[in-house]
């Protein structure tokens, strides 16, 4: 009985670690795609990377600043990106692009 319990416990640890590494790898891909997208469509106004101190436009917050707004979540950021802003042009992101850019921005915490 002890042997089968240990076997089940060991298998669950292995499965959990494999699934966790797959999720991490997938998030890394989203983050990289988000950075590429941010460089292409956001960097004209926003500082999209940590090493860029000021944003090119004084009206556009740095992505790192956005990521660190208290209470900022993936849902809140997704909603904000899908609404028009007074000083920001409307951008039309498909669901994959939205996921990628949100993942990237929140990775700057």
How does residue 27 score in pLDDT terms, banded at 50, 70 and 90?
confident
DSSP state letters, 5-66:
HHHHHHHHHHHHHHHHHHHHHHHHHHHHHHHHHHHHHTTTTS--STT--S-SSTTS--HHHH
Report yes or no: 78 and 98 within 8 Å, Cβ to Cβ.
yes
* pTM passes above 0.85: no
How does residue 10 score in pLDDT terms, banded at 50, 70 and 90?
very low
What's the pLDDT tens digit per position in 50-107? 976 799 999 999 999 999 999 999 999 999 898 877 778 888 899 999 999 999 999 9
Report yes or no: 91 and 81 within 8 Å, Cβ to Cβ.
yes
CA geometry: angle 50, 56, 57, nearest 5 deg: 120
Section 5-11 average pLDDT: 49
Section 29-41 average pLDDT: 96
């Amino acid at each position: 009985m002890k042997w089968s319990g240990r076997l089940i416990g060991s298998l669950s640890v292995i499965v959990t670690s494999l699934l966790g590494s797959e999720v991490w790898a997938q998030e890394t891909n989203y983050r990289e795609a988000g950075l590429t997208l941010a460089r292409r469509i956001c960097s004209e106004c926003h500082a999209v990377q940590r090493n860029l101190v000021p944003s090119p436009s004084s009206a556009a917050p740095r992505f790192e600043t956005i990521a660190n707004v208290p209470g900022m979540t993936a849902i809140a950021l997704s909603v904000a990106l899908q609404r028009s802003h007074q000083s920001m042009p409307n951008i039309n992101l498909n669901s994959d692009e939205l996921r990628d850019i949100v993942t990237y921005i929140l990775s700057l915490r």
